[in-house]
Chain A
Amino acid sequence: MKEWIPLFVVLPLAGAFIIPVAGSVWKSTGRVVTPLLMLFLTVFSLLFFSFKPQVMVYYVGGWEPIDGIPVGIHFVVDGLSVLMLAIINVIAFAASFYSLSYMHRFTGDRYFYTLFCLMVAGMNGVVITGDLFNLFVFLEIAVISSYALVAFGIEKAELEASFKYQVLGGVASLLILLGIAVIYWQTQTLNLADISVVLQEAGNHKTLVFVQMLFIAGFGLKAAMIPFHAWLPDAHPSAPAPISAMLSGVLIKAVGVYSIMRLFFNMFAISYEISMLIVIIGTVSMVGGVFLAIGQWDFKRLLAYHSISQMGYVVVGIGMGMVILSVNGDQRIATLAITGGLFHMVNHAIFKSLLFLNSGALEYRTGTRMLREMGGVADQMPITSASTLSASMAISGIPPFNGFFSKLLIIIAAVAGGFYLIAVLAVVVSFITLASFMKAHRYAFSGIPKFKGKNMLKEVPFTMGLSMVFLASMCLGLSLLVIPFLRDLVLAPAVDALMNMLHYSQHIHGYTL
């Protein structure tokens, strides 16, 4: 199976080249190729769940290690990568299928599909690469295509948002690059496993702390953690809806949170101070994001702020696990916290993408993103209304939807681990989340219609509706991951990959202490 790992990068990359070329002959190339490609990748990534205990390594170009020292680029697929691949490709499939109808409003849709494929290639690359510099390259592929996609509407607001996003994203990239340079200077290697081995021998010192700060700031910006979040509320709402879904649903996870997890668990040695810092940043984001969200009247902007808040939950969950591991606390609580964090990440990918698709559906029919200008669409748009409700319930943590269970795990882990304040804050943030989504429902779906053309209102086209129903049913279905059997299948390998910190380098490097 491991020979096929590069397909995750090769296929979307190939798609990105074929679409503009063939698209000049047959205009529908992108519309046909992209969803099929994403469907294939979805199935392909789900297949990998059946090989759970293995860490699979693919040597790019056949550059095998010499004397145990890696010389080429490795693609590594372990439990965490499989989970990320599944999230990325499932959401990409839903978003591309949704785009078939949605992107009719835009001209030049083949460039859209080109950039879309490029972004997916970049994200898939980030999560399977075992090389630090290669990670940076894939990260840039993903974010640069996202800069272009944010500006896809080429109106004033979109261009402004994209410009801000580029400048701030550029700063983050610089910080990351600087960090990589320092790492390379210190360790003379760029292979994650190899760096980990060298660092274990070298021990902890000031330069390393500096690099960790750079990475927290850089990847923190990509993950939109407060105070590095300022680009997100402009960029995510400005993109076309399926792209917003991709950005909020997967991009911030794949290039931001995933990188933080991978580097801090598997490359650096966990320290108590850094873990606490991550918990604090997560908590601030969780609380700050939701307070900012509830005041918004632009539906997509409200959703964007919620992304900050919800990613806060994820980071808090994982950070609490790190803290407990760093002080050699109860392994079970650490497992619970990390499971909660990862579970919430999966759930957030589903419900937030769905919410952005819903916001697109509302905009598609009512012509506005402002909540106060909509109203009363529930009867004419039952599918949009019902799927929005399930996503809102999921994000607010109402049973039987998936968000309830992941928040439950995080809160239980917080109390069990002694993070009482975080537990209380998580609950309070959960109320405010519920309140802000109730506000959205009250203004968008209930009440009296206020927008133009309300008499011609009808449900969205088929492909948009189907994508939303697909994700909405996943909001319910993923609740089952709380059952131990499915949890062991899907989440536990990823949790193990993080918990057994040294296993990653040992397996790839063959190094044992």
Chain B
Amino acid sequence: MFMSELHIVIFLPVIAGILLFLLPERVFTLKGVLSVLVAAVCLIFSFILYFETAATGTLNLGKEFFKDGSLLNTLLKQTESFAAMHTDNLSKLIVLFVGLFTLIVSVYSTGYLFPKIRPRHYFSYFLITAGCANGAVLADHMLLFIFFWGIMGLTLYKLIKGHTSISASTAKKTFIMIGASDGIMILGIAVIMHLGFPLSISAMDIHTGSFAGVAAFLCLAAGAFTKAGAFPFHTWVPDYASYAPASSSAFLPASLDKLLGIYFLARLCNSMFVLNDWLTLLMLFAGVGTIIIGVMMALMQKDYKRLLGYHAVSQVGYMVTGFALGTPLGIAGGLFHLINNALYKSGLFLAAGHVERLTGRHTIDDLGGLSKVMPVTFFSVFVFSLAISGVPPLNGFASKWLIYQGIIEFGEGPGLANQLWVVWLALAIIGSALTLASFIKFISGIFLGHTKSIYRSVRGKDMLYCLPQAVLAIICIIFGVFASNWVIPGIIQKVSGDFAYPGIWESSTVSVLVMISIFAGLTIYWLMRGRGFRVDKAFVLGETQDHKTGGYPSGEYYKTITGNQVIRMIYRGAEKKYFDIYDIARETVLGISKRLSWLHSGILPVYLIWIIAGLLVMLIIFM
């Protein structure tokens, strides 16, 4: 068949994106509407694709249109030899979610991107990104994969407007890190070729017993880690989240980059390579390290978009941990968490963008009590926050639960990594608790308390903003409530393989219990209303809270952590970017550059001496 779902989900957005370059920037809304249409079509076809059987084959590029043996025919025929595609349950699932996020974010972007923060040709790059993401997920040939994957780095760079020096620097840093990781992946591919494996992702099965095998794995994993934003290659994510338009953050670092990075990591850990014990240990270490570092940094943030950026890092840790376990339970947990995280994290970014758009403020302390003026956003954020913190019965809990169970089950194995299961479990749970802590800060600082007087006139019920958030929130609830009886057996186990569902956890029953208890609580409150209560001043952080100022000073909540000398030093170092791999590399390179420039004095006799010396050295060696 010449036109298939694959053609549409890959080429339609890319071609539409290229055509949108031709429309002038003035008709931004028109471009937005067209993008929404394209995204909707893609989503429909992703759905159709999802229900088709898995297949491997080459993408037909239309060679039939040209005479056999003609120039274009030969060209297309040879191009097709690189266009090996492979669909299985994992890739179809990822494509489906790429389609979903493309649609949701395109709707939001049409309303959100006002001219001052709007990157040029936003929707063109947006659609190209979506098409390339699908291409990368469906590609079976490594070179085709890296081709699509690399283009996404470029579009990521183009989706942030460098109109101020700080946003320009952020764009630069992001692209350098992503581009560098792509380079490392090429090295990995070269090693795989050297080992004599065909470059087919589905057929690869490399043992990491040899040095070359380990090197290839590490090179490719570095690419996946950078894309997904896992420690130690995560440092672009918080910066991007702070200075890019919220729609771009919601689209790439929060959803598509996660989907792709973790998709590739899943392929690496569970089908392309057979991990040895040390690599499993390393991956688990990276996983829990990411969780803790991300969340500890998030706790201290005052800028709410940056706070979300650090959580975008922290959550990746759970997925890495899940896939590193390598058991069906772990894979299921990692995959489910990937989808859940993309849902609530992109929702949080959309909400943050909404708040920023209406108030123009970046720090939590400047805000307060917005729940009354932005009810839909507040409801969505409330759901997202509970989900990300792993509060039952929401989806975040369901996937974390699987990961915890996976770790416990993993502990029965004989290896060193298995013996340390308590460590992984403890750190994962602590990370979850700290996430809750930082979201209490987020929600109470922005939405709770009395509305600050300057925000009383804010109109926060615009459909274009609210609808995408509400849709995401509802999906979060559905995925949580029906986790154990529909989502996990119906979607996740198709990918991860079957496993005995652990424990007596049953999501719908628990949801009903939770509803009953909430209802009971409300009833008690209603019955007791006006009796046995006294109204008193509120105390926050040991001080009386003044009603008139509105909001809570939640920016100060966790300041006491820095009371510890060591922790304070670490935070100071992190603020000065001592631990940022990008800054370390930058300083090193510029240092060497400075030394070498010093040799280039511009004095002619010195240069002459170099030439003569070069010639002499060669002569001495060879004569």
A448 CA to B606 CA, complexed, in Å: 40
* Contact residue among A288, A416, A448, A485 (Cβ-Cβ distance under 8 Å from B190): A416
A480 CA to B71 CA, complexed, in Å: 13
Question: Which B160-181 residues have a C-beta within 8 angstroms of A?
Answer: 162-165, 167-169, 171-172, 175-176, 179-180
Q: When the two chains form their complex, are residues A434 and B615 in contact, meaning their CB atoms are under 8 A apart?
A: no
Residues of B within 8 A of A238 (CB): none
Q: When the two chains form their complex, are residues A411 and B592 in contact, meaning their CB atoms are under 8 A apart?
A: no
Residues of B within 8 A of A396 (CB): 179
Residues of A within 8 A of B606 (CB): 230
A274 CA to B621 CA, complexed, in Å: 11
A294 CA to B588 CA, complexed, in Å: 12
Residues of B within 8 A of A210 (CB): 619, 623
Given A217-B618, A442-B172: A378 in contact with B120 (beta carbons within 8 A): yes
Q: When the two chains form their complex, are residues A411 and B78 in contact, meaning their CB atoms are under 8 A apart?
A: no
Q: When the two chains form their complex, are residues B614 and A227 in contact, meaning their CB atoms are under 8 A apart?
A: yes
Q: When the two chains form their complex, are residues A427 and B150 in contact, meaning their CB atoms are under 8 A apart?
A: no
Q: When the two chains form their complex, are residues B590 and A295 in contact, meaning their CB atoms are under 8 A apart?
A: yes
A311 CA to B267 CA, complexed, in Å: 37
Given A213-B619, A295-B590: A485 in contact with B75 (beta carbons within 8 A): yes
What is the distance, in angstroms, from B175's C-beta to the closest C-beta of chain A?
6
Residues of B within 8 A of A217 (CB): 611, 614-615, 618
Q: When the two chains form their complex, are residues A447 and B78 in contact, meaning their CB atoms are under 8 A apart?
A: no
Residue B146 interfacial (CB < 8 Å):
yes
Stretch of B88-96, B489-497, B533-541, B593-601 lying at the A interface: B593-601
Residue B187 interfacial (CB < 8 Å):
yes
A308 CA to B163 CA, complexed, in Å: 32
Residue B191 interfacial (CB < 8 Å):
yes
Q: When the two chains form their complex, are residues B610 and A230 in contact, meaning their CB atoms are under 8 A apart?
A: yes
Q: When the two chains form their complex, are residues A398 and B593 in contact, meaning their CB atoms are under 8 A apart?
A: no
Q: When the two chains form their complex, are residues B187 and A434 in contact, meaning their CB atoms are under 8 A apart?
A: no
Residue A400 interfacial (CB < 8 Å):
yes
A447 CA to B619 CA, complexed, in Å: 51
Given A171-B611, A434-B175: A292 in contact with B151 (beta carbons within 8 A): no
Q: When the two chains form their complex, are residues B164 and A447 in contact, meaning their CB atoms are under 8 A apart?
A: yes
Given A273-B622, A434-B175: A427 in contact with B75 (beta carbons within 8 A): no
Of chain B, the residue at the smallest CB distance from A434 is: B179
Q: When the two chains form their complex, are residues A292 and B75 in contact, meaning their CB atoms are under 8 A apart?
A: no
Q: When the two chains form their complex, are residues A228 and B78 in contact, meaning their CB atoms are under 8 A apart?
A: no
Q: When the two chains form their complex, are residues A416 and B593 in contact, meaning their CB atoms are under 8 A apart?
A: no
Chain B 599-615 per-residue mask, 1 if CB under 8 angstroms from chain A, else 0: 01010101110110111
Q: When the two chains form their complex, are residues B168 and A447 in contact, meaning their CB atoms are under 8 A apart?
A: yes
A430 CA to B594 CA, complexed, in Å: 19
Residues of B within 8 A of A399 (CB): 146-148, 150-151
Residue A404 interfacial (CB < 8 Å):
yes
Residue B186 interfacial (CB < 8 Å):
yes
Question: Which B127-182 residues have a C-beta within 8 angstroms of A?
Answer: 143, 146-148, 150-151, 153-154, 162-165, 167-169, 171-172, 175-176, 179-180, 182
Given A416-B193, A442-B162: A411 in contact with B150 (beta carbons within 8 A): no
Residue A483 interfacial (CB < 8 Å):
yes
Residue B194 interfacial (CB < 8 Å):
yes
Q: When the two chains form their complex, are residues B75 and A438 in contact, meaning their CB atoms are under 8 A apart?
A: no
A376 CA to B183 CA, complexed, in Å: 29
Residue A216 interfacial (CB < 8 Å):
yes
A-B CB pair tally, cutoff 8 Å: 167
What is the distance, in angstroms, from A308's C-beta to the closest C-beta of chain B?
11
* Contact residue among A163, A230, A486 (Cβ-Cβ distance under 8 Å from B75): A486
A133 CA to B148 CA, complexed, in Å: 50
A408 CA to B75 CA, complexed, in Å: 20
Residues of A within 8 A of B162 (CB): 378, 441-442, 445-447
Residues of B within 8 A of A411 (CB): 186-187, 190
Residue A184 interfacial (CB < 8 Å):
no
What is the distance, in angstroms, from B301's C-beta to the closest C-beta of chain A?
25
Residues of B within 8 A of A121 (CB): none
Q: When the two chains form their complex, are residues B150 and A292 in contact, meaning their CB atoms are under 8 A apart?
A: no
Residue A317 interfacial (CB < 8 Å):
no
Q: Tell which of B169, B182, B184, B190 has the most Cβ of chain A within 10 Å.
A: B190
Given A233-B600, A400-B151, A442-B168: A277 in contact with B618 (beta carbons within 8 A): yes
Residue A397 interfacial (CB < 8 Å):
yes
A376 CA to B465 CA, complexed, in Å: 30
Chain B 78-107 per-residue mask, 1 if CB under 8 angstroms from chain A, else 0: 110000000000000000000000000000
Chain A 438-460 per-residue mask, 1 if CB under 8 angstroms from chain B, else 0: 11011001111000000000000
Q: When the two chains form their complex, are residues A427 and B608 in contact, meaning their CB atoms are under 8 A apart?
A: no
Residues of A within 8 A of B172 (CB): 438-439, 441-442
Given A206-B623, A209-B623, A399-B146: A168 in contact with B169 (beta carbons within 8 A): no
What is the distance, in angstroms, from B187's C-beta to the closest C-beta of chain A?
5
What is the distance, in angstroms, from B480's C-beta to the closest C-beta of chain A?
39
Q: When the two chains form their complex, are residues A427 and B179 in contact, meaning their CB atoms are under 8 A apart?
A: no
A393 CA to B151 CA, complexed, in Å: 10
* Contact residue among A168, A292, A376, A427 (Cβ-Cβ distance under 8 Å from B186): A427
Question: Which A419-449 residues have a C-beta within 8 angstroms of B?
Answer: 423-424, 427, 430-432, 434-435, 438-439, 441-442, 445-448
A48 CA to B168 CA, complexed, in Å: 46
Given A379-B120, A485-B78: A228 in contact with B604 (beta carbons within 8 A): no
Q: When the two chains form their complex, are residues A291 and B187 in contact, meaning their CB atoms are under 8 A apart?
A: no
Of chain A, the residue at the smallest CB distance from B586 is: A435
Residues of A within 8 A of B594 (CB): 295
* Contact residue among A227, A404, A435, A480 (Cβ-Cβ distance under 8 Å from B611): A227
Residues of A within 8 A of B169 (CB): 442
Of chain B, the residue at the smallest CB distance from A217 is: B615
Residues of A within 8 A of B189 (CB): 412
Q: When the two chains form their complex, are residues B597 and A171 in contact, meaning their CB atoms are under 8 A apart?
A: no
Residues of A within 8 A of B120 (CB): 378-379, 382
Residues of B within 8 A of A216 (CB): 618
Q: When the two chains form their complex, are residues B614 and A404 in contact, meaning their CB atoms are under 8 A apart?
A: no
Residue B29 interfacial (CB < 8 Å):
no
A427 CA to B181 CA, complexed, in Å: 10
Of chain B, the residue at the smallest CB distance from A397 is: B183
Question: Which B19-45 residues have a C-beta within 8 angstroms of A?
Answer: none
Chain B 109-128 per-residue mask, 1 if CB under 8 angstroms from chain A, else 0: 00000000000100000000
Given A171-B611, A430-B183, A442-B169: A277 in contact with B622 (beta carbons within 8 A): yes
What is the distance, in angstroms, from A257's C-beta to the closest C-beta of chain B?
17
Residue B523 interfacial (CB < 8 Å):
no
Chain A 2-30 per-residue mask, 1 if CB under 8 angstroms from chain B, else 0: 00000000000000000000000000000
Residue A221 interfacial (CB < 8 Å):
yes
9 further interface pairs, Cβ-Cβ under 8 Å (given A164-B604, A227-B614): A163-B604, A277-B621, A399-B150, A408-B143, A432-B589, A434-B175, A438-B175, A446-B165, A486-B75
A sample of 24 inter-chain contacts (CB < 8 A) reads A163-B604, A168-B604, A210-B619, A210-B623, A213-B615, A216-B618, A227-B610, A277-B618, A277-B621, A291-B596, A292-B596, A295-B594, A399-B147, A411-B186, A411-B187, A424-B187, A431-B183, A434-B180, A435-B586, A441-B162, A446-B162, A447-B165, A480-B75, A483-B78
The 8 A-B residue pairs with the shortest CB-CB distance, nearest first, are A446-B162, A446-B168, A295-B593, A230-B607, A415-B190, A399-B150, A431-B180, A227-B614
Seen from chain A, the residues whose Cβ lies within 8 Å of a Cβ on chain B are 163-164, 167-168, 171-172, 175, 206, 209-210, 213-214, 216-217, 221, 227-228, 230-231, 233-234, 273-274, 277, 288, 291-292, 294-295, 376, 378-379, 382, 393, 396-400, 404, 407-408, 411-412, 414-416, 423-424, 427, 430-432, 434-435, 438-439, 441-442, 445-448, 480, 483-486
